[in-house]
Structure 1
Amino acid sequence: MASIIISYHANVTSHDSLQHLTRFIHSAIKVGHSIKGVFLYQDAVFHASNHFSLPSDELQIMEVWQSIADLGVKLSLCVTAAEKRGLAISNTLPFEVAGLAEFAMDVAQTDKWVQIK
């Protein structure tokens, strides 16, 4: 089966994209593929922010990301995109901070790269 890495570009308000990402990951794992990681890029870095609170009847973004991390999927965010957007990178769990060079190395070591916007 294939190893897959995902770059995720959608803002926090794009709940459909996050749900699509989650279904894709679960489906890929179910049929035997491995998800090597998800890299947050562009406005998707806001998913790592701890500075917003969502009403209980909305999709709980951090719970979704934690459930993905619990599957053993590495979650990374682009340090440059985060800094450009004023996001503090000192406390971004469950995400780790990475650069585009690290992401490029990860892409080179996988079979497929999937972009979700």
Structure 2
Amino acid sequence: MARFVLSIHCAPSDHDTTQRLVKFAHACLAQGHTIDAIFLYQQGVFHASQHLYLASDELAISALWQTLYEKKINLMLCVTAAEKRGLDITKKGIFSIAGLAEFAMLASDADKWVQFK
């Protein structure tokens, strides 16, 4: 089976891309593949914001990330991109803090790296 690393580069308001990543991740796991990490980069760091408030009729972003976290997937928040966008990295919730070097090492060890933009 293959080992995957995924990255998301879009803001939480891009529900389409977020749903594609989540469905892809669940499909990979269902087929016996491994996801070493999901890396939040560029506008994607806003998925980790503790100030993400969406209307009740919108996609439940936090719940989607929680399901991936419960599958023991390492959810990585790019520290540089987060700080550049004013996120408080001390309040990261289920996400771990990582740098691009750490992400690059994971991606180079994986069989596949899939970006969601």
TM-score band, normalised by shorter chain = over 0.9
CA distance in 2, matches of 1:91, 1:52: 12
Which 4+ runs in 1 deviate beyond 6 A? none
In the alignment, structure 1 residue 112 sits paired with structure 2 residue 109: no
Say which SS state the counterpart of residue 92 (structure 2) adopts: coil
Identity percentage of aligned residues: 50
The residue aligned with 2:25 is 25
Kindly tell me the number of residue pairs found equivalent between the two proteins.
Answer: 117
Return 5+ residue gaps in structure 1 as ranges: none
| Deviation for aligned residue 1:71 | 0.9
- Give matches, 1:19-58, under 5 Å: 19-58=19-58
The residue aligned with 1:70 is 70
The residue aligned with 2:89 is 89
CA distance in 2, matches of 1:63, 1:77: 17
| Deviation for aligned residue 1:52 | 2.8
Return 5+ residue gaps in structure 2 as ranges: none
Q: TM-score of the superposition, structure 2-length normalised? A: 0.96
Deviations along 1:1-35, one digit per CA (max 9) or x if unpaired, are: 10000111111110011110111011111111111
